[in-house]
Amino acid sequence: MSELMMPHMANNHGNVFGGVILSLVDLVGAVAATRHARQPTVTVAMGGVVFHEPIHLGELVTARASVNFVGRTSMEVGVYVEAENLITGQRRHTNSCHVTYVAIDKRGRPVPVPGLIPETETEKKRYVRAEARRDRRLAQRAGGSG
pTM for the whole structure: 0.91
pLDDT band at 142 (very low <50, low <70, confident <90, very high): confident
| Summary mean pLDDT of the chain | 95
CATH number among 3.30.360.10, 3.10.129.10, 3.40.50.150, 3.40.640.10, domain 2-116: 3.10.129.10
SS3 label, residue 29: helix
Look at residues 52, 71, 65 and name the one whose alpha carbon lies nearest to residue 98: 65
Q: How far apart are alpha carbons 103 and 133 in whole angstroms?
A: 19
59, 84 contact by CB (below 8 A):
yes
Strands 2-4 and 60-70: antiparallel
94, 82 contact by CB (below 8 A):
yes
Q: What is the pLDDT of residues 5-64, one digit of tens each?
A: 999 999 999 999 999 999 999 999 999 999 999 999 999 999 889 899 999 999 999 999
61, 83 contact by CB (below 8 A):
yes
